Amino acid sequence: MEKQIRKAKEVIENPGKNKKLKFTTTKAENIKLNQLLIDKTKKILGIKGYYTNLDESLVNNQTIIAQYHELYRIEQAFRVTKNDLQTRPIYHFTPDAIQLHLVICFMALVISKHIELKTGVSIKKFLTETKKVKDERLINRITDEEITIRSKLSDTV
């Protein structure tokens, strides 16, 4: 805020740099410091508010604040899907294709989170290590059938 006030004062002192700033008012060609706005801003400085459409009888303030603080998990999920899972926007034109794309991205996120919880390793590290595997052995737990897969990397190495 102090930096914004300094910039406003500089603009008032040097009218050649006439641009609209937060703490200035312009009447005709005169630029003035908006002291009312500065005073109002100082009163509410540091106060944070949360707005919700939930009824007060359903949730209390602590619950709303706690839920707001959990938003970082959603942001983290978007970072994982974009960076580690390398999902990218795809332009689909039919509602079915759009929904299917969202389901695939969401399932990739769910599976990656499951892997992280089971292994205790980040999905990025898990994918890096998995790419080094040359032979895989899968066991069907229902039929106890075993499938061995030899990747093309093992043929060239």
Q: Is residue 77 part of a domain?
A: no
42-69 pLDDT, tens per residue?
Answer: 888 887 888 888 888 888 888 988 888 8
Q: Is residue 34, in this structure, part of any structural domain at all?
A: yes
* Residues 59/70/45/33 CA torsion (nearest 10 deg): -120
Q: With respect to residue 11, please indicate whether it lies within any of the assigned structural domains.
A: yes
> Is the CB of residue 90 less than 8 Å from the CB of residue 104?
no
Phi-psi sector, 120: left (phi>0), alpha (psi -120 to 50), beta: left
Question: Is 131 a domain residue?
Answer: no
* Count of domains observed in the chain: 1
Q: Report the mean per-residue pLDDT for the chain.
A: 82
Residue 156: pLDDT band (50, 70, 90) is very low
Q: Examine residue 39 and state whether it is found in any structural domain, yes or no.
A: yes
Q: What pTM, to 2 d.p., does this model score?
A: 0.43
Q: How many whole angstroms separate alpha carbon 58 and alpha carbon 95?
A: 35
Q: Tell me, yes or no, whether 21 lies in a domain.
A: yes
